[in-house]
Amino acid sequence: MESKRRVNCGRCRRAAIVLLACALILSTASVATAQKNEQDVVARARSLAIGQQRPEALALLETQLAEHPDDTDARTLYGIILSWEGRYDDARKALESVLERNSTHGDALPALINVELWSDHPERAEALASQALRSRPNDTSLLMSKARALKALNRTADAADALDRLLEVDPTDQHAKQLRSDLKDSLRDWETSLDQSYEWFSDHQAPWLETQLALKRQTRLGSVFVRISHAHRFSLDSNLIEIEAYPSLRRGTYAYLNAGWSPDGRLYSKYKLGAELFQSLHYGLEVSGGIRHLGFQNKVNVYTGSLSKYYGNWLFTTRTYVTPAAAGDSVSLQYSARRYFGEGSSYVGVRFGSGGAPLQTGSVNEIEVLRSLSVLGEVNWRVARRWTFNFRGGESREDRLNDPRLQHHLVDGTLFFRF
C-alpha cells in the first residue's frame, strides 16, 4: 500500500511539473506574440508616416496606446510624428512620459531635443543634450544635437567645440563636417552682394534696368545693410541709398527697419521709411505687421502683414499690402513657398501674387500698377563656401494707369560673398 502511494505521488509531481512547463511555454509564447504584435503596429505606423499618411499613423498608434499604455516604442513614435506635424506641446508630453521611465531612451531623447529646437527652445535642447552626454559622452547624435542647439543660441565657439568632439569620435561624419564649415563661415561678419535685374514689357516700352550694390554687417543685435540702387528707364537715371536693419528684440521677436533717400527722386520716391515687427508663435508659426511710407509727390502709406508657417524643410508665407486711397483701398496678396536644403543657406521657392499695392522698393515702376496677377520662381544656392548665387524669374499680367492688360517680365541675378 505504501509503495502504491509513493508511485501515485510521483505521478502527481511529474504531472504538476509538466503542467507548469506547459504554462510557462504558453506564457512565453503569449508574451512573444504580444511583443510581435506591438512591433508590427509600430512598423505599420512608421510606414504610414513615411508615406505621408500621418493622420492614419497617429490614429493607429492612439488605438495601440489605449490598449497598451506601456508600449514605449509606440509612444515614442507617436511623439515623433506629432513633432513632424508641428504639434510640439503634444509631442513634448508624449516623449517626456517615455523619458520618465527611461531617462536615456535612445529614440525619445533625441526626438525631444528636436522638439525643443523646432519650437524655438534651444536652451532646453542644449540642457537635455548636455545631461545625456554625461552618461554617453561619445554619442554622435547627442553631440550633433548639442551643436545645433548652441548654434541656435549664437554660441558659435561652443558649437564648434561640440562638433570637434564629434569628429574625434567619427572623423567621417559628413553632416558634422558641413556644419563645422558653416559655423566657421558664420564667424565672418561681412557680406557684400551685387544684383542686376532686367524687366521688359509686352508693349515694347523702355525696359527697366536696376543695379544694386549692398554691404551687410552681422552684429550682436542683428544684421545691418547699406544698399545703393541705380535704375535706368526712358533715358532717365535715378539712385537710391538705403539703410536696413533686422534687430533682435528678444527670443522669438525681431524687427525690420528701413530708411532710404533718393537724391534726384526721378524713378524712386524722394525718400522711404519702413518698420515691421515679427513674432514667433507655437506650432512653427510667425506673424508680422508693419508700415511702409513712400515720399512721392503724393505721399503713400502702405500697411503690410504676414503669416508664415515652418513645416519641416518648408516655409509657407501669406503676405498682404494695403494702400489706403480716397478712390478706394488698393490691396495685394502674395503666397509663397520655399524648400530649404542643408543647413538652410540654399533653397528653391515660388511666389504667386495678385492686387495692385506697391511692394518694397518704392519706385515708379510699382506705383503705376492698378491690378496684377504674377508668378515668380527663385533659386538661392550656395555655390562655394563663401559664395551664394540667387536667381529669380517671373512674369505678371498688369492693369496700369495708361496701359491695361500689360505683360511684364522679370529676370534677376544676385551674387553674394562673405568675408
What pLDDT, on a 0 to 100 scale, did the predictor assign at position 364? Answer: 77
Please write the tens of the pLDDT for every residue from 145-183: 999 999 888 888 899 999 999 999 999 999 899 888 888
pTM of the full structure: 0.68
Burial per residue of 80-93, b for 16 or more beta-carbon CB atoms within 10 angstroms, e otherwise: bbbbbbbbbebbbe
Q: How far apart are CA 201 and CA 376, in angstroms?
A: 16
- The amino acid present at 244, given as its one-letter code, is E
HSE value, Cβ hemisphere, 13 Å, CA-based, for 166: 25
> How many residues can be counted in the chain?
419
Q: Identify the H or E element spanning 370.
A: strand 369-384
Superfamily of domain covering 190-418: monomeric porin ompg (2.40.160.40)
Among the listed ranges 20-34, 136-150, 203-217, 282-296, which one has the minimum average pLDDT value?
20-34
Q: How far apart are CA 393 and CA 219, in angstroms?
A: 32
Domain boundaries, the chain: 42-186, 190-418
User: How many other C-beta atoms can be found within 10 angstroms of the C-beta atom of residue 168?
Assistant: 10
Any long-range contacts for 125-128 (C-beta under 8 Å, 24+ apart)?
Answer: 125/149, 125/152, 126/150, 126/153
Is the CB of residue 39 less than 8 Å from the CB of residue 47? no
The share of the chain scoring above pLDDT 90, in percent, equals 63
- How far does CA 212 lie from the centroid of its chain? 28
Phi, psi of 249 (to 5 degrees): -95, -35
Q: For residues 266-280, give the mean pLDDT.
A: 96
Task: Name the DSSP letter for residue 405.
Answer: T
Band of the pLDDT at 8, cuts 50, 70, 90? low
Q: 245 or 357: whose pLDDT is higher?
A: 245
Q: Identify the H or E element spanning 42.
A: helix 2-50
Q: Which of 36, 41, 93 shows the shortest CA–CA distance to 64?
A: 41
- The amino acid present at 45, given as its one-letter code, is A
Instruction: Indicate whether 17 pLDDT > 70.
Output: no
Please write the tens of the pLDDT for every residue from 54-94: 999 999 999 999 999 989 999 999 999 999 998 999 999 99
Q: 37 or 325: whose pLDDT is higher?
A: 325
Q: How far apart are CA 61 and CA 85, in angstroms?
A: 15
Is the CB of residue 173 less than 8 Å from the CB of residue 185? no
Radius of gyration of the chain (CA): 31
Q: How far apart are CA 262 and CA 247, in angstroms?
A: 24
Secondary structure string (H, E, C) spanning 230-293: EEEECCEEEEEEEEEEEEEEECCEEEEEEEEECCCCCCECCEEEEEEEEEECHHHEEEEEEEEE
Instruction: Indicate whether 100 pLDDT > 60.
Output: yes
Superfamily of domain covering 42-186: Tetratricopeptide repeat domain (1.25.40.10)
